[in-house]
Chain A
Amino acid sequence: MTPRQRRMWGVGLVLFGAGVATALALQAFRENILYFYTPSQIESGEAPVARAFRIGGLVVPGSVHREPGDIDMSFVLTDNAHTVTVAYSKILPDLFREGQGIIARGRLGEDGVFSAEEVLAKHDENYMPPELAEALENTSHPGQSN
Chain B
Amino acid sequence: MKFLPKFVHRLASPPHFYRLAERWTPWLGLVAIVLILAGAYGGLVIAPVDYQMGDGFRIIYVHVPSAWLSLLVYMVMASAAAVGLIWRIKLAHAVAASCAPVGAWFTFLALATGAIWGKPMWGAWWVWDARLTSELVLLFLYLGYIALHGAIDERTRADRAAGLLAVVGVVNVPIIHYSVEWWTTLHQPASITKMGSPSIRDPAMLIPLLIMSIGFMVYFAAVLAIRVRGEVLEREWHKRWVSEILGDT
CB–CB B120/A94 < 8 A: yes
- Check: B127 CB closer than 8 A to any chain A CB: yes
- Check: B143 CB closer than 8 A to any chain A CB: no
Return the chain A residue nearest B82 by Cβ: A11
**Which B residues touch A19, using CB under 8 A?**
171
Return the chain A residue nearest B83 by Cβ: A11
**Which A residues touch B184, using CB under 8 A?**
34-38, 56
Once the chains are docked, how many angstroms separate the CA of A37 from the CA of B185? 10
Name the prevailing secondary structure of the B interface residues. loop
Find B60's partner among A127, A128, A134 (CB 8 Å cutoff): A127
CB–CB B168/A14 < 8 A: yes
**Which B residues touch A56, using CB under 8 A?**
184
CB distance from B66 to the nearest CB of A (A): 17
**Which A residues touch B164, using CB under 8 A?**
11, 14
CB distance from A117 to the nearest CB of B (A): 12
Once the chains are docked, how many angstroms separate the CA of A103 from the CA of B124? 11
Q: Which of B52, B85, B121, B167 has the most CB of A within 10 A?
A: B52
List which A115-131 residues lie within 8 A (CB) of chain B.
118-131
- Check: A33 CB closer than 8 A to any chain B CB: yes
**Which A residues touch B50, using CB under 8 A?**
127-130
Interface size on B, residues (CB 8 A): 44
- Check: A73 CB closer than 8 A to any chain B CB: no
- Check: B200 CB closer than 8 A to any chain A CB: yes
Return the chain B residue nearest A21 by Cβ: B171
CB–CB B121/A95 < 8 A: yes
Interface string of B54-84 (1 = CB under 8 A from A): 0001001000000000000000000000100
Residues of B in contact with A (beta carbons under 8 Å apart): 1, 48-53, 57, 60, 82, 85-88, 120-124, 127, 129-130, 164, 167-168, 170-172, 175, 183-186, 188-191, 194, 199-202, 204-205
- Please name 20 pairs of A and B residues whose Cβ atoms are closer than 8 Å in the assembled complex, sorted by A: A4-B1, A4-B88, A15-B167, A15-B168, A15-B170, A22-B175, A33-B130, A35-B127, A35-B183, A35-B184, A38-B184, A93-B123, A95-B52, A118-B123, A123-B52, A127-B50, A127-B53, A127-B205, A130-B49, A132-B202
Excluding A22-B175, A127-B205, A128-B51, 8 further A-B contacts by CB distance (< 8 Å) are: A19-B171, A33-B183, A103-B186, A120-B122, A122-B122, A123-B122, A127-B191, A132-B201
